Amino acid sequence: MFGSDTTFQRALAFEQSLTLLAAPERKESSTACAFGVSKFTLRRNEPQEIESYYGQADSWEQARKFRDKIEKDPSYAGRKRAEMPDSSGS
């Protein structure tokens, strides 16, 4: 349904008036690339956020370089989240 839109903001299949029933049935989910990076020690009752990244990479090397880049940039997730359109409906 979302096709290449890994933000899950636009249902490209609907925008392109594609018939979903004509597509082959999937019996399992498949995520092309997903990983999380976090380092922390929790104390009792202490909250912690974990960031997850989903997307596509042409190679493992490209995915590794991206992972290395965001591991060094603690503000990456917050910056990217701020760039996203507000999907909360408010």
The domain limits of the chain are: 32-40+51-84
Q: State residue 23's pLDDT score.
A: 62
Residue 29 phi/psi, 5-degree rounding, is: -85, 155
Task: State the residue for tokens 């992972």.
Answer: 67
Question: Which residue in 35, 32, 29 sits closest to 5, CA to CA?
Answer: 32
Q: What do you get for the CA distance between the two ends of the chain, in Å?
A: 25
CA–CA gap between residue 2 and residue 17 (Å, rounded): 12
Residues 27-62 pLDDT 10s: 666 655 566 666 778 889 998 777 666 777 788 898
CA–CA gap between residue 90 and residue 87 (Å, rounded): 8
The predicted model gives 72-77 an average pLDDT of 87
pTM for this model (two decimals)? 0.41
